[in-house]
Amino acid sequence: MRAATPTDEGAAIAGDFGKAIRATQREFAQLLLAALGALLALAAALLRVLHAALKRMPLKEKLPTYPVINATPTSGAVFLNWGGGEYFKVVSHTVAGACVGFACGAPLRRHGCYFLATIGFGVGCWFAQQNSYFRLRGTLPNHAECRRAGVEFVDPYAPGGSAYPRAYPTHAS
């Protein structure tokens, strides 16, 4: 029988340490899976609540109050309808995002600037598309579109318009 040497003891300690680490990793994985399961259950419950709320919500499409230029505009028609205001919205959202990203992006200011400028560009494009779409559909004022299409612009909120109240209380009586 051979006597124990320091290297044998080191190997035994290393083996025990390896077993302890593997057991800790297993426990951590089990804990991580339990947390992930709880998170998924919470997300499913939240989705059920949102779905029930949306089913109860009446969705009404706003009727056009201004002259309709195009009742079902395509994305291309909406983009071609852009004017200077839409381009200003895109540029201003992009610049604002870049400034906020630079100011709040320490220590990686350039990356924060680029990231939030990209987000701002996307928001600006979405906002511009939405405004252009609603002007073509007649839900927003569309003076220029009516002039371009040769349609008479009738302001429903002007005196005598369809949305203008017919009778006003007078204080003279």
- The answer to whether 168 and 162 are in contact (CB under 8 A) is no
The model carries a pTM of: 0.59
pLDDT at 25 (0 to 100): 82
The pLDDT tens digits for 28-82 are: 888 889 999 999 999 999 999 888 887 877 766 778 888 999 999 999 999 999 9
Domain ranges of the chain: 12-59, 75-149
Count CB-CB contacts under 10 A for residue 136: 23
Count CB-CB contacts under 10 A for residue 18: 10
Number of residues that make up the chain: 173
For 143, residues 6+ apart whose C-beta sits below 8 A from its C-beta are 153
pLDDT at 157 (0 to 100): 77
The pLDDT tens digits for 98-121 are: 999 999 988 899 999 999 999 999
- The answer to whether 136 and 64 are in contact (CB under 8 A) is no
pLDDT at 123 (0 to 100): 96
- The answer to whether 102 and 27 are in contact (CB under 8 A) is no
DSSP letter string, 81-106: T--HHHHHHHHHHHHHHHHHHHHH-T
